[in-house]
Structure 1
Amino acid sequence: MQRFAWLLKVDGGHRRLTGIWALLFHLTAAGFAAFYLYTSGFGLISTESNRGVYLMLTSVLVFMTYPMSRRSPQHRPSIIDMIFIAAAVVSVGYWIDQYVSYAIFRVSSPNSYDLAMGAVAIVVMLETSRRALGPIIPIIAILFLLQLYFGPYLPGRLSHPGMSVERILEFTFSTQEALFGVVAATFATFVFPFIIFGAFLERSGAGNFFMELGTAVAGRWRGGPAKIAVMTSALFGSISGSSVANVVTTGAFTIPLMKRTGFRAHHAGAIEAIASTGGQFMPPVMGAGVFILATLTETSYLTIAVMNIIPALVFFGFVLVMVDLEAVRTGIRGMPPSETPRVRDVLRRGWYFFLPLVVVIGLLFRGYTPEFCAFWGTLTAIGLSMIRSETRMGPSGIMQGLIGGARSNAAAGAAIGSLGVIIGGIVLAGLGLKFSAVLVDFSGGHLFFALILVTIISIIIGMGSSTTGSYIILSVVAAPALIELGVPTVAAHLAVFYAACLSNITPPVCVAAFAGAAIANADPMKTGLAALKYGITLVLMPFSFVYVPGLILDGTTAAIVHSTIVYLLGVIALAVAIQGAEPFGGTIGTLRRVLFGGAGVLLMFPATLFIDVAGFVLLAAAAAPTVLGRRRPAVGTGTVD
């Protein structure tokens, strides 16, 4: 019985469930994940059941593990929690049961039960988001509901005739356009199966393997622990797709290691935060927002993943160069050989952990749906866990994998209901096109200024929100403006998505930096500012997708290769300018930093041949003292052949 003692204790979401409540949570979570693992493989389920069950059980798990306030019981749900759980089950269950009847007989004529259940469901979803993610998203959702009613009082172009309470409730609840719309469908169909896949892949031992591989590859280099953080976050991020989950998982190992070898606390937290943020656009899995992006642009997930390969590699390459130059500037060395395994030994012990990713990618290339690929990737991970006794998954291990996937989803999916309310408010009032018109007006019709406004708006909207939440809002209010100004649809949405990722590292509210700062015992604001320095390319990427289309494979092969090489040289030059150090060792003066910075900007945005040439000239002038100095023998030493 000792093997199953874990069933009677749950530690998560600020509440520690024990006894029967822990058992109920585990059974609910395991059943929830098993249901969607089954649907991802076999797909035998109605649309209303797929979306409804997802929102219902996500809310149930959140109410069980996230207390209403600090005064709430910490080892069991309160009476209020049980009321919310019942409300979630009854209201969403009613929608699942009545949707077909509504769609056939009651469209535009909801009955009193439809309206009452709609009001209950909206309150339930807002409270679900508030408990797991804080008040920002629910407040935004409430504002979008209020603007539907008070439309005549809105200023300028945002004004509209206004809607009755009955119309607002009907559209938000009874249709598949808002609460149960595309966001809920995407998470239930695509995102949750990949979260389950990530949970099983980590339990199979792949997480430890990727960590050990990063240590073996980069541990001995100068600043090795920071490079381990970057590499393991890239590898682990490709299976987790969550910046905060990535920080707390890999950061628990890498941040103390960075501090031990000489990195300042806020720099250690910042490096982990920015590297973990990159996991959201690191193929093959990426973050939840990418699935939404693929759905909204009607582009295959595989196409989006392939388009992100070069931007992701450029991003992580820049962070690696920044870390290396930080080590040069501060004299931080690598780990001792006794603490770093050999790459050959690590690969020999765990090379097969790449197979689940190969299965997923292979099936995607064969044309199978993403959720089907996640299903077989999960089964492959379970099979591979049997190779070693310490990772072998029996019935207990499989159940823990299902529970781990459901718990991760509870945090990731808590915002989905509220985001559906926001989307419904935007669609019903026609605000998408109105916001776009306002954005175009503010920018004066200039694309460059429009991109600046999108970046600023993304930081504001992203305060306290997830990347997915920020992107969903921006995809409706900002992406159409870029499209109107001539940006291709996918490029516009990618620009908006990368801008949404900024909220993870930009103060005053930067969730990934806060998580890194907590582990590093550092000041969150200093950590956020340092993360912004290490990830400055994340600010520039939205502009790059518009002005350097070759980065997202738009153009001829020659143009793509040329753009990538020149852009890489540009980001390296920019890193040298920011850090004031160069890869060969030593610091540089102000004039050379300015030259490197100018070269970086020109090479990253080569609009014309003249700008290209000017960038190379500045780069040559900046690098000349180093090149000539390395060729000239030291005075008095002579030469030896």
Structure 2
Amino acid sequence: MVDASWLLRVDGARRSLTGFYALAFNLVALGFTGFYLYTSGFGLVSTQTNRGIYLMLTSVLVFLLYPARAGSPSHRPSIVDLVLVAATVACVWYWIDQYVSYAMFRVSSPNTADLVMGAIAIGVMLETSRRALGPIISIIAIVFLGQLYFGEYLPGRLANPGMSVERILEFTYSTQEALFGVVTATFATFVFPFMIFGAFLERSGAGAFFMDLGTALAGRWRGGPAKIAVMTSALFGSISGSSVANVVTTGAFTIPLMKRTGFRNHDAGAIEAIASTGGQFMPPVMGAGVFILATLTETSYLTIALMNVIPAVVFFVFLLSMVDLEAVRLDLKGLPAEEIPSLRSVLAKGWQFFVPLIAVIGLLFSGYSADFCAFWGTVSAAALSWLRRDTRMGPTAIAQAMVGGARSNAAAGAAIGTLGIIIGGIVLAGLGLKFSAVLIDFSGGNLFVALCLVTVVSIIIGMGSSTTGSYIILSVVAAPALINLGVPVVAAHLAVFYAACLSNITPPVCVAAFAGAAIADAPPMKTGFSALKFGATLVLMPFSFVYVPQLLLDGTPLDIAYTTALYAIGCVLFAIALQGTEPVGGVVTPLRRALFLIAGGLLMFPTNLWIDMAGLALLVAAAAPTALARRNRIAAG
């Protein structure tokens, strides 16, 4: 018998729906997911239908699940919510129905209905993002709309002649350049199908399997729980692609475990936050921003995924080194043997969870589109769940996975319409080229200074926003500056993308660290600064893509392997310098820390053989006292 009782309840972070409204939410979510499963696997629909349905149903789900304010009803939508749902359906459906007519007969001459519906659509999308993500991204959008109207009063290169309300509404709403532009298209076509794939994998038991796998692999090591957090977040990140989703999913298990075995509260939250942030660029799925990156750079998703393999690996090498050294400093041990599952038994029970990932990768290599690969990954996850009785996905589990995918999208996709508004404001005012020119002027044409400025701007724009939202804005206003200074297009966009990831762990507003702090019961700011320390290489990544192109597979196989090995060694040395502890134990003196830091820097940013040799020589000099002391202890018996 199919259990349908779950349809009458929806538990959200801010509102729990029951009865009729829970049923309505779940039915909309089922239809939403079903439509995009169909389009990714079988069907072609018109561009306006694909983009419009995505924005419309995302906003409908947000208005049902997220209250307008603290005093709003907690178990049902308010009258205002229902009015906004109706307004959303009306203005988006009007756009879908009228787009062809507008494109053929009304370009530059919108009628009154176009303008009224455009005003409603902008208001609805601003409210959608405000409810799910807070006011910052909506305020930024209002600023970008305002600069279109008051452009003549702006200073210097940022000025524009000023535009009429009618022109702003038409460009933002009626065209496919802003609200219904490339950002919406990418989420509807690629990102949402992968969210559905992740929801099916999680529902089939993959999340628990990855945690068990991490425990079996790292549980017995010193600081094992923290290494489990790193490994499970990397594995889970390969199917979820969201730092905050990683924190709340894996952190509920790993953070209490880290605290129980001796890690300080803020460090436990920080380690989970930075590991979850790293999961965003862990192939094969990575974060939603990577799909946007592939679209904007006109590069295949598979190419972007392959280019991210080495950066992701060296990032986690550094993070594992930092965790290991923290465990040495605190004299922590691994988990008790009775709490560590057998690796053989874990793989015997869950080997099938690798098959959907392998299927996705195989189809990508065969040249199929990313959304088609996500569809068959979803199908294979549901089918393979039947290999074990305890993981079988029947009709109820499949329906719950479909709803889970739509709910994940409600949080991740809530900003998409607002981001489209921002992009429209940038494009219509020509701000991309103007801001690029300002960055180049400020840097004096110096690439290193420009990278520093881009990193700072990324942190500021990323405050309170998602990585995807930050990257989308930066891809238009910052990446062109790097490209104009000679950086290859993909490298420039990856530098900006990783800089956007950095905002997740950079105080004063760092959403991933704050999520970890909430679970760890730790001070948010202290957790944020700790996360920044544990993820320090993320600060260096944008510079690495520019100055060490071998990390992005630019060079001969031998050159790539040689440079990657040096970079990985440099990451370990950098970790020793930051922690002030060696893997064999003992405190490192300030002089030796400086030697490890310089050696690490030289190996991470090699320019020629002499620099490499100097880095290795400094490594020997820094490590020699420990090696000699150990040799003397052995000789003394």
**TM-score band, normalised by the shorter chain?**
over 0.9
Counterpart CA distance in 1 for 2:48 and 2:3 is 38
Using the alignment, how far apart are the partners of 2:300 and 2:634 within structure 1? 58
Give the aligned partner of residue 151 of structure 2.
Answer: 151
AA matched with 1:318: F
Contact 2:2 2:396 in 1 (8 A): no
Deviation at 1:627, TM superposition (A): 2.2
Q: Which deviates more from structure 2 when the two are superposed, residues 334-343 or residues 174-183?
A: 334-343
Residue in structure 1 matched with residue 513 of structure 2 by the alignment: 513
Tell me by how many angstroms 1:2 deviates: 9.2
Per the alignment, residue 283 of structure 1 pairs with 283
Report how far residue 633 of structure 1 moved: 4.2
Aligned counterpart, 1:33: 33
Q: Distance in 2 between matches of 1:586 and 1:225?
A: 22
Q: How far apart in 1 are the matches of 2:44 and 2:433?
A: 37
Give the superposed CA RMSD: 1.0
Task: Label 1:361 to 1:157 Cα distance change in 2 as closer, same or farther (>3 A).
Answer: same
Question: 1:305 and 2:305 equivalent?
Answer: yes
Q: 1:162 deviation in Å?
A: 1.2
Q: Which residue of 2 aligns with 1:500?
A: 500
State the Cα distance separating 1:556 from its structure 2 match: 1.5
Cα deviations across residues 143-178 of structure 1 (Å, max 9, x unaligned)?
A: 000100111100000111111110100000000000
| Alpha-carbon separation, structure 2, partners of 1:397 and 1:551 | 41
Provide the residue aligned with 2:6 in structure 1.
6
Aligned to 2:271: 271
2:384 paired with 1:384: yes
C-alpha distance after superposition, 1:540-598 (max 9, x if no partner): 00000000000010111122111101111111100011111111222211111110011
1:444: which partner in 2?
444
Matches within 5 A, 1:27-66: 27-66=27-66
**Which residue identity lines up with residue 165 of structure 1 in the other structure?**
V
State the partner residue of 1:210. 210
**Cα distance in 1 for residues equivalent to 2:95 and 2:607:** 53
Give the drift of 1:636: 4.3
In the aligned structure 1, how far is the partner of 2:271 from the partner of 2:337? 23
AA aligned to 2:44 is L
| Structure 2, gaps ≥5 residues long | none
Residue 467 of structure 1 aligns with which residue?
467
SS at match of 1:504: coil
Deviations 1:53-86 (A, max 9, x none): 0000000000000000111111111010011000
Unaligned runs of 5+ residues in structure 1 are: none
AA in 1 matched with 2:630: R
Please give the per-residue CA displacement for 1:326-361, whole angstroms capped at 9, x wherever unaligned. Answer: 011110100011110121111111111100000000
Report the 3-state secondary structure (helix = DSSP H, G, I; strand = E; otherwise coil) of the residue aligned with 2:220. Answer: coil
Asked if the contact 1:225–1:261 (Cα under 8 Å) also holds between the matched residues in 2, the reply is: yes
C-alpha separation between the residues in 1 aligned to 2:530 and 2:68? 34
Residue aligned with 2:146, SS:
helix
CA distance in 2, matches of 1:564, 1:385: 38
For residues 469-503 of structure 1, the C-alpha deviation after alignment (integer angstroms, 9 at most, x for no partner) is: 00000000000000000000000000000000011
Q: Is the 8 A contact 1:13 1:132 kept in 2?
A: no
- 1:427 matched to which residue of 2? 427
Q: Which amino acid aligns with 1:472?
A: I
Q: Corresponding residue for 1:248?
A: 248
CA contact (8 A) 2:2 2:395 kept: no
1-structure distance, mates of 2:357, 2:630: 44
Letter in 2 for 1:452: C
| DSSP 3-state at the match of 2:583 | coil
Q: Structure 1 residue 125 and structure 2 residue 125: aligned?
A: yes
Question: Could you give the per-residue CA deviations for residues 414-451 of structure 1, whole angstroms, max 9, x where no partner exists?
Answer: 00000000000000000000000000000111000000
Equivalence for 2:337: 337
Q: 1:71 to 1:633 in 2, by over 3 A?
A: closer
**Which whole-Å CA distance do the structure 1 matches of 2:513 and 2:628 have between them?**
41
Within a 5 Å distance, the mapping from 1:169-568 to structure 2 comes to 169-568=169-568
SS in structure 2 of the partner of residue 244 of structure 1: helix
Kindly provide the amino acid, as one letter, of the partner of residue 598 in structure 2: G
Deviations 1:79-107 (A, max 9, x none): 10011000100000000000000011111
Say which SS state the counterpart of residue 606 (structure 2) adopts. coil
Report SS of the residue matched to 1:262: coil
Which amino acid counterpart does residue 256 of structure 2 have in structure 1? P
Query: How far apart, CA to CA, are the structure 1 residues paired with 2:189 and 2:420?
Result: 16
Structure 1 consecutive aligned stretches of length 4 or more whose deviation exceeds 6 Å = none
**Superposition deviation, residue 631 in structure 1:** 2.8
Match in the other structure for 2:105: 105
Secondary structure at 2:16's aligned position in 1?
A: strand
Moved more, 9-18 or 487-496: 9-18
**d(CA) in 1 for partners of 2:167 and 2:636?**
88
- Cα gap change, 1:480/1:394 in structure 2, threshold over 3 Å: closer, same or farther? same
Question: What per-residue deviation string (whole Å, max 9, x for no partner) do you get for residues 451-480 of structure 1?
Answer: 000110011000000000000000000000
Aligned to 2:608: 608
Q: Secondary structure at 1:130's aligned position in 2? A: helix
Aligned residues: 637
User: Is the CA contact (8 Å cut-off) linking 2:554 and 2:560 kept in structure 1?
Assistant: yes
CA distance in 1 between partners of 2:252 and 2:591 (Å): 40
Counterpart secondary structure, 2:17: strand
C-alpha distance in 1 between matches for 2:305 and 2:423? 25
Paired AA for residue 599 in structure 2: A
Identity %: 76
* Corresponding residue SS for 2:541: helix
Q: How many angstroms does 1:393 deviate by? A: 1.2
Q: Distance in 1 between matches of 2:401 and 2:10?
A: 14
1:291-343 Cα shifts (integer Å, max 9, x gaps):
00000000000000000000000001110010000011110100011110121
- 8 Å CA contact 2:569–2:600 kept in 1: the answer is yes
The answer on whether the counterparts of 2:149 and 2:165 sit within 8 Å (CA) in structure 1 is: yes
SS of the residue aligned with 1:586? coil
Once residues 180 and 464 of structure 2 are traced to their aligned partners in structure 1, the CA distance between those partners, rounded to angstroms, is 23
Separation in structure 2 between the aligned mates of residue 141 and residue 528 of structure 1, nearest angstrom: 26
What SS does the aligned partner of 1:17 have? strand
More deviation, 86-95/38-47:
38-47
Partners of 1:13 and 1:66 lie apart in 2 by: 8
Contact 2:269 2:517 in 1 (8 A): yes
CA deviations 1:124-147 (Å, max 9, x no partner) are: 000000000000000000000010
CA distance in structure 2 between the partners assigned to 1:139 and 1:632 by the alignment: 65
Q: What's the TM-score, normalizing by structure 1? A: 0.98
Question: Closer, same or farther in 2 for the Cα pair 1:636/1:473, shift >3 Å?
Answer: closer
Q: Give the secondary structure class of the aligned counterpart of 1:221.
A: coil
Residue 593 (1) aligns with residue 590 (2): no
State the secondary structure of the residue aligned to 2:514.
helix
Can you list the C-alpha shifts for 1:222-245, whole angstroms capped at 9, x where unaligned? Answer: 000000000000000100000000
TM-score, with structure 2 as normaliser: 0.99
Farther off after superposition, 199-208 or 611-620: 611-620
Contact kept in structure 1, 2:33 and 2:403, CA below 8 Å: yes
Contact residue 255 and residue 269 of structure 1 kept, 8 A: yes
Residue identity opposite 1:442 in structure 2? F
Whether the 8 Å contact between 1:52 and 1:180 is mirrored in structure 2 is yes
CA distance in 2, matches of 1:481, 1:445: 10
For the 8 Å contact 2:207–2:236, the answer to whether it is kept is: yes
Residue 20 of structure 1 corresponds to which residue in structure 2? Answer: 20
Correspondence for 2:573: 573
